[in-house]
Amino acid sequence: MAKFKRVLLKLSGESLMGEKGYGIDENRLGEYAAQIKEIADMGVQLGIVIGGGNIFRGLSGSKKGFDRVKGDQMGMLATTINALALCSALTAAGAKCKVLTAIRMEPIGEFYTKDKALELLNAGYITIFAAGTGCPYFTTDTGSSLRGIEIEADAMFKGTRVDGIYTADPEKDPSATKFDDISYDEILVRNLKVMDLSATVMCRDNGLPIVVFNMDKPGNLKRVIAGENIGTYVHP
Ligand code: UDP
């Protein structure tokens, strides 16, 4: 049984690379699509925001001499490429899926409005929100807290490649320990790099709980949706 009725799932672009150093790994995409379809079949309404770090990030572009705003626009287009890839993998897996974009680019996807998003979610479509917030200087973390709040999701699920929020980056510091739960303010005070501070503040100020979990272990998405505490639960 699902404990959540409507969730916003945030996936990083980087994790779509799988074993590759760049771009999209079809096997990883297929694994994600299978996990997502499984919970959509349980009747959970799913909005998805996907990053673009496997293709382009504005900040790294500006370090190489790109104009920051243009670089961020390239990043938003990168998230749109990933959104189309995920949508087509979901459709191939037999799920109903649509892409809404934060920047007008029909026919790639319909322009995002809250009303359109709710119409699709209520009709059983997995709805992917592409191009983040549509604005430069933001990230897909802020894009997902924004969309999660707008669609009145029960929680935001941040799928990562580690098991939850740790005292330090577990990929760099082997002595790091995991939190089973943590408050928004403790994330801010400890300056934990789980997601952008602005995204954490938005979730805190608007009461959107966050669950951070390892999306790369097949079956985990279903377990967190069922309410199992296998990741880290972020609360007031
Ligand atoms: N981006 C942006 N505004 C947004 C969302 C994303 O400008 O609202 C750009 C930004 O350049 C960012 C890139 O898109 O670096 C890719 O998104 P992100 O870094 O969040 O992807 P992830 O790290 O999750 O793969």
State the CATH number of the domain containing residue 172: 3.40.1160.10
For ligand 1, the distance from its centroid to the CA atom of residue 78, given in whole angstroms, is 8
Strand duo 210-214 + 232-235: pairing: antiparallel
Please name which of 218, 79, 56 lies closest in space to residue 143, comparing C-alpha atoms.
79
Q: State both tokens at 164.
A: 């939850």
| Count: domains in the chain | 1
Query: pLDDT value at position 2?
Result: 77
pTM attached to this predicted model: 0.97
Residue 136, ligand 1, Cβ within 6 A: yes
Residue 13, ligand 1, Cβ within 6 A: yes
Query: pLDDT value at position 45?
Result: 98
Query: pLDDT value at position 193?
Result: 86
Q: What are phi and psi of 205, to 5 degrees?
A: -70, -20
Please name which of 232, 225, 163, 230 lies closest in space to residue 37, comparing C-alpha atoms.
225
- State the residue range of the domain holding 72: 6-235
Residue 61, ligand 1, Cβ within 6 A: no
Query: pLDDT value at position 25?
Result: 96
For ligand 1, the distance from its centroid to the CA atom of residue 223, given in whole angstroms, is 28
Query: pLDDT value at position 170?
Result: 87
Residues contacting 173, CB < 8 A, separation 6+: none
Q: State both tokens at 172.
A: 């760099």
Please name which of 90, 96, 6 lies closest in space to residue 47, comparing C-alpha atoms.
6
- Flag whether 14 is in a domain: yes
Query: pLDDT value at position 21?
Result: 87
- Flag whether 1 is in a domain: no
Low-confidence ranges of the chain (pLDDT < 70): none
The sign one gets for the Cα dihedral 190, 235, 181, 11 is: negative
SS3 54: coil
For ligand 1, the distance from its centroid to the CA atom of residue 186, given in whole angstroms, is 25
Query: pLDDT value at position 62?
Result: 86
